[in-house]
Amino acid sequence: MKTLKIITIVWVFASIFTSCAQEKKTNLKPTNMYDIAINSLTGEKIDLNQFKGKKILFVNVASECGFTPQYKDLQKLHETYKNKLVVIGLPCNQFGNQESGTTAQIKSFCEKNYGVDFLMTEKIDVKGESQHPLYGWLTKESMNGVMESSVKWNFQKYLVDENGKLIDVFYSTTEPLSDKIVKLL
């Protein structure tokens, strides 16, 4: 009889614990993108909170890619819509080793060849075990609350609204000045 009481008590506690764990799991809320830490290309901390009230276009970039000429239109997008849009380039060397340069080389290449003066971050990983937390947020529905995606190649674009909510993802073949993007600005 004593054994039966112990088993019953253990079962009740296990049921309560399991129920609470499942409830917690299904009520996951998206994390706040603005609280994610990332550094600029020159090493300074970027406070994403400063961009509240503006849309943000995050683009993983590379200097030796067939899509590298998109830097030109990203710069145009930055210049044309800077009152309501922040363009952020995130160098990444995960696709074909196409961003193998140092910080100084990346900065020089972008400025010299495309006149880039939009915000550039440190070199990061956008997928895999070393994925930067920002790309964890951009690609995981459990974090962004909108959609699941994976980064397919360089110059994939993620558009976030003025309140930090993911709007959409655009693959490399979508030009920065395409109607698909511009109509959402």
Establish whether 65 is a catalytic residue.
yes
Q: Provide the 8-state DSSP code for 88.
A: E
Burial of 148-177, coded b for 16+ CB within 10 Å and e otherwise, reads: ebebebbbbbbbbeeebebbbbbebebbbe
* Selection from 142, 134, 137 nearest residue 25 by Cα: 142
Confirm if 114 and 78 have CB atoms less than 8 A apart: no
CA-CA distance, 181 to 176, in Å (whole number)?
7
Catalytic residue, from 20, 65, 92, 110: name it: 65
CA-CA distance, 146 to 165, in Å (whole number)?
8
How far is residue 98 from each of residues 63, 64, 106, 153, 173, measured CA to CA in Å? 6, 5, 11, 10, 17
Q: Provide the 8-state DSSP code for 44.
A: P
Catalytic residues: 65
